[in-house]
Amino acid sequence: MSDEPPEPDDLRRLSERLDEARRREAAKAPKAGNAAPLSVAFRFTTELVAALVVGGALGWGMDRLFGTRPIFMVVMFFLGAAAGIRNVMGAAKEMNERAAKAAMDGKAGNKE
């Protein structure tokens, strides 16, 4: 290496190459906080179906235990549906908060 300072044209070309490399890397990287639509649908479905199955199974078990007609199964199924909807709403809120935080972090990173 020489002790001469780099030429301004050399610095400009280097800066352009670095900017281009950063753009390529940013395009390759997955966006933080953006879940794939299929994974979101799978999570919501799992939350709802699990609550329905647990509620129905508990009701069926209570009906078998007490020897009643399927009244407990129906009641627990509806309670499971309500719990499942509540779980889905909570999961959606959590995902929205995570996406908003990622968007805010991205905006803050652009300012620096």
pLDDT band per the 50, 70, 90 thresholds, residue 6? low
What local confidence, expressed as pLDDT, does residue 107 receive?
72
Give me 43's structure tokens.
């999570």
What local confidence, expressed as pLDDT, does residue 29 receive?
65
Give me 8's structure tokens.
């301004």
Alpha carbon separation from 65 to 28, 59, 75, 78 (Å, rounded): 57, 10, 15, 19
What local confidence, expressed as pLDDT, does residue 12 receive?
86
Give this prediction's pTM. Answer: 0.63
